[in-house]
């Protein structure tokens, strides 16, 4: 069962990753722009079981690490995404007010996105990766969060529908 | 609500985290397999990025006017379609003209200094999620580009080649927080180190505490051993503010880069520098102030005012 689900999820993740790299990254948007792939992975994790969420984080993190624009060493995004995806899924699992409610999902995704950025900064400091001035970091974190807040409600129905197609365990948000 | 199968999930979580830590360790130790994986990914992504760049070029200029595709039932519809096509052509032409202008300026700059360059187009902006400032260009090792080569824009330094793939390369922009370049001030030859700040301004640190810098001073690249990563003489920017704090060992300042990192379309990678140092030959000319015409109005009072 799990193998079938992973084999169905993998092409979806790959497609969105390629879309992110080939299309979204073409634009230099104000406030640092957004990561559609990051939003997708977090939405997927929020509406999944913790087990699937951890695997989602691992797969998404590996792809993010493979991106040539990933600043740190291979494995850094993997580690962060595993922790964040598992965390949001564990906290919201079984609570219909969180993962069964679109507003709850959006809130979780925005907060998780912010935590992802903060974890990246913390791990970068430990690994010796330069991340820029305080003002620039603040601007990027705020910009990313705002973009995520705006975009997540728009893409949530699509991502939720994809999740429903793969897992067939829940109603579409 | 607590999750049921916690034991198995925790075991899975631990295995995944250990795997991630294992990957980080391998990468930090410089294991070539991981570099190969990144290179392979970029090789696969490069055609998608080129296609995306080609398709989205007009959109990237924030002007989109693509309407009426295929529905030409009557003359008005046909004219509208023609009009839209002409507009799209015009947009593509404007885009090409802008890139041509950038290319001309780059070739002027490279020609004056005698650099041998490979011209490339920017096909992707780096993700800002990693707090880095990078772009991807559409030429790589197949075109003779190697790691740590200087990258020029139409106005001066744009960055340095960070990673090279067969048909593309990753350029770390001069605005990247990790970017550092040895500079000298044109004319006075004082030397210092310029660091990126994540924006168009950089931080200058002079090395000698006996020298001074003033607003408006032009900075040029000092050059590196064997001209890598930096060839000498490339214009970098000009000083916009000077910090004269008493506690500083040497003077510091703020520098504005000549390159506008938000509008990079065409770049040139210096694959071979000239045998002689161009010195101050590449210092950009100061802008000539536009004369403001003065209008003098003479008013002669009438001899007898009317009632």
**What pLDDT is attached to residue B65?**
47
In this complex, the residue of B13, B56, B128 whose CB is nearest that of residue A23 is B56
Task: Tell me the C-alpha distance between B217 and B200, whole Å.
Answer: 17
Taking contacts as CB-CB distances below 8 angstroms, the residues of chain A near B37 are 66, 74
Cβ contact (<8 Å) for B132 and A18? no
Position B38 in a domain: yes
Taking contacts as CB-CB distances below 8 angstroms, the residues of chain A near B53 are 26
Cβ contact (<8 Å) for A136 and B60? no
In this complex, the residue of B24, B45, B132 whose CB is nearest that of residue A73 is B24
**What pLDDT is attached to residue B64?**
42
Cβ contact (<8 Å) for A82 and B17? yes
In this complex, the residue of B9, B26, B132 whose CB is nearest that of residue A50 is B9
Q: Output the CA–CA distances (angstroms, integers) from residue B249 to A114, A163, B213, B219, B252, in the order listed.
A: 38, 59, 14, 20, 9
Q: How many CB pairs under 8 A join A and B?
A: 165
Task: Tell me the C-alpha distance between A57 and A114, whole Å.
Answer: 15
Cβ contact (<8 Å) for A70 and B60? no
Taking contacts as CB-CB distances below 8 angstroms, the residues of chain A near B9 are 49-51, 54
Q: Output the CA–CA distances (angstroms, integers) from residue B304 to A142, B300, B307, in the order listed.
A: 72, 12, 9
Nearest chain A residue (CA) to B165: A68
Cβ contact (<8 Å) for B20 and A75? yes
Cβ contact (<8 Å) for B16 and A82? yes
Q: b/e for A86-115, b at 16 or more Cβ within 10 A? A: bbbbbbbbeeeebbeeeebbbbbbbbbbeb
Cβ contact (<8 Å) for A35 and B127? yes
Position B53 in a domain: yes
Provide the shortest C-alpha distance from residue B3 to chain A (in Å): 7
Task: Tell me the C-alpha distance between B129 and B113, whole Å.
Answer: 37
Position B57 in a domain: yes
Task: Tell me the C-alpha distance between A117 and A141, whole Å.
Answer: 7
Q: Nearest 5°: CA angle at B28, between B158 and B178?
A: 25
Torsion angle of alpha carbons B101, B103, B108, B109, nearest 10°? 120
State whether the Cα torsion B127-B97-B280-B148 is positive or negative: positive
**What pLDDT is attached to residue B5?**
65
Substitution target from A22, A54, A79, A81 for chain B, most B beta carbons within 10 A: A22
Cβ contact (<8 Å) for B178 and A67? no
Cβ contact (<8 Å) for A68 and B262? no
Provide the shortest C-alpha distance from residue A12 to chain B (in Å): 16
pLDDT tens readout for residues B210-266? 777 888 888 999 888 888 889 888 889 999 988 877 666 777 889 999 888 877 888
Range of the domain at B178: 10-283
Preceding omega of B229 cis (within 30 degrees of 0) = yes
CA-wise closest residue to A118 among A138, A103, A146: A138
**What pLDDT is attached to residue A119?**
93
Q: Are B111 and B124 in contact (CB under 8 A)?
A: no
Cβ within 8 Å of residue B300, ≥6 positions away: none
In this complex, the residue of A20, A66, A73 whose CB is nearest that of residue B28 is A73
**What pLDDT is attached to residue B128?**
67
**What pLDDT is attached to residue A34?**
87
Cβ within 8 Å of residue B75, ≥6 positions away: none
- Residue spans of the domains in chain A: they are 2-24+35-167
Provide the shortest C-alpha distance from residue A162 to chain B (in Å): 23
**What pLDDT is attached to residue B105?**
78
Cβ contact (<8 Å) for A22 and B45? yes
Average pLDDT, chain B: 81
Q: Are B236 and B174 in contact (CB under 8 A)?
A: yes
| Counted domains in chain B | 1
- pLDDT below 50 — which residues of chain A? none
DSSP B120-152: EEEEEEPPGGGT--EEEES--GGGT--TT-EEE
Cβ contact (<8 Å) for B23 and A74? yes
Kindly tell me the burial class for residue B210, based on how many C-beta atoms sit within 10 Å of its own C-beta (0-12, 13-18, 19 or more).
exposed
Backbone angles phi, psi at B155, to 5 degrees: -105, -15
In this complex, the residue of B42, B49, B128 whose CB is nearest that of residue A140 is B128
Helix axes A36-46, A102-127, angle to 10 degrees: 120
Position B267 in a domain: yes
Task: Tell me the C-alpha distance between B53 and B42, whole Å.
Answer: 15
Strands B134-137 and B201-206, bridge-based pairing: unpaired
| Cα atoms found within 13 Å of the Cα of residue A116, Cβ hemisphere only | 34
The tens place of each residue's pLDDT in chain B, 307 residues long, gives 455 567 888 888 999 999 999 999 888 888 777 777 888 888 888 888 888 888 877 776 654 444 444 544 567 777 877 887 787 777 777 777 777 777 777 777 777 777 888 989 888 887 767 778 889 998 898 889 999 999 998 888 999 999 898 888 999 999 888 899 999 888 888 889 999 888 888 888 888 777 778 888 889 998 888 888 898 888 899 999 888 776 667 778 899 998 888 778 889 999 887 777 777 767 777 666 677 777 788 877 777 655 5
Q: What number of other Cβ atoms are within 10 A of residue B256's Cβ?
A: 16
So what's the ipTM on this one?
0.86
**What pLDDT is attached to residue A172?**
59
Percent of chain B, pLDDT > 70? Answer: 87
In this complex, the residue of A49, A93, A137 whose CB is nearest that of residue B131 is A137
Provide the shortest C-alpha distance from residue B133 to chain A (in Å): 9
Cβ contact (<8 Å) for B3 and A127? no
Pull the structure tokens for residue B102: 């950038």
Nearest chain B residue (CA) to A96: B1
**What pLDDT is attached to residue B155?**
84
Task: Tell me the C-alpha distance between B13 and A154, whole Å.
Answer: 31
Position B222 in a domain: yes
Q: What's B206's DSSP letter?
A: E
Nearest chain A residue (CA) to B178: A130
Runs of H (alpha helix) within chain B: 6-28, 32-60, 75-113
């Amino acid at each position: 069962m799990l193998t079938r689900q992973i084999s169905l999820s993998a092409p979806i993740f790959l497609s969105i990753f390629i879309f992110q790299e080939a299309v979204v990254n073409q634009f230099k948007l104000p406030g640092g722009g957004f990561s559609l792939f990051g939003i997708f992975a977090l939405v997927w994790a929020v509406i999944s079981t913790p087990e699937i969420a951890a695997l989602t984080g691992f797969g998404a993190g590996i792809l993010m690490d493979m991106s040539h624009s990933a600043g740190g060493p291979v494995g850094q995004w993997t580690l962060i995404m595993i922790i964040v995806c598992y965390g949001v899924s564990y906290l919201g699992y079984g609570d219909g007010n969180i993962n069964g409610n679109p507003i709850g999902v959006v809130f979780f995704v925005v907060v998780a996105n912010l935590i992802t950025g903060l974890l990246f900064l913390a791990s970068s400091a430990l690994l010796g990766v330069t991340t820029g001035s305080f003002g620039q970091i603040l601007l990027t974190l705020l910009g990313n969060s705002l973009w995520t807040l705006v975009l997540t409600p728009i893409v949530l129905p699509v991502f939720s529908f994809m999740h429903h197609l793969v897992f067939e365990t829940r109603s579409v948000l | 609500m607590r999750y049921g199968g916690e034991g198995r999930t925790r075991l899975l979580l631990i295995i995944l985290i250990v795997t991630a830590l294992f990957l980080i360790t391998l990468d930090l130790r410089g294991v070539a397999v991981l570099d190969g994986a990144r290179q392979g990914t970029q090789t696969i992504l490069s055609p998608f990025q080129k296609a995306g760049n080609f398709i989205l070029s007009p959109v990237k200029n924030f002007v989109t006017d693509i309407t009426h595709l295929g529905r030409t039932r009557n003359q008005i519809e046909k004219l509208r379609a023609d009009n839209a096509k002409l507009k799209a052509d015009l947009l593509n032409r404007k885009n090409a003209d802008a890139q041509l202008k950038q290319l001309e300026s780059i070739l002027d700059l490279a020609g004056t200094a005698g650099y041998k360059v490979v011209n490339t187009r920017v096909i992707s902006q780096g993700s800002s999620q990693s707090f880095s400032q990078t772009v991807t260009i559409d030429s790589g090792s197949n075109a003779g580009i190697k790691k740590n080569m200087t990258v020029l824009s139409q106005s001066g330094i744009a960055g340095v080649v960070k990673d090279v793939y067969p048909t593309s390369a990753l350029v770390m922009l001069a605005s990247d927080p990790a970017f550092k370049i040895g500079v000298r001030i044109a004319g006075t030859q004082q030397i210092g180190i310029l660091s990126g700040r994540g924006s168009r301004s950089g931080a200058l640190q002079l090395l000698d505490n006996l020298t001074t810098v003033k607003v408006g001073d032009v900075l040029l690249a000092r050059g590196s051993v064997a001209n890598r990563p930096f060839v000498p003489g490339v214009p970098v920017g000009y000083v916009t503010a000077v910090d004269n704090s008493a506690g500083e060992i040497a003077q510091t300042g703020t520098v504005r880069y000549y390159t506008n990192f938000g509008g990079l379309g065409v770049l040139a990678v210096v694959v071979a520098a000239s045998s002689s140092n161009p010195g101050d030959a590449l210092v950009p000319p100061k802008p000539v102030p536009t004369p403001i015409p003065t209008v003098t109005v003479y008013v002669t009072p009438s001899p007898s005012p009317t009632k």
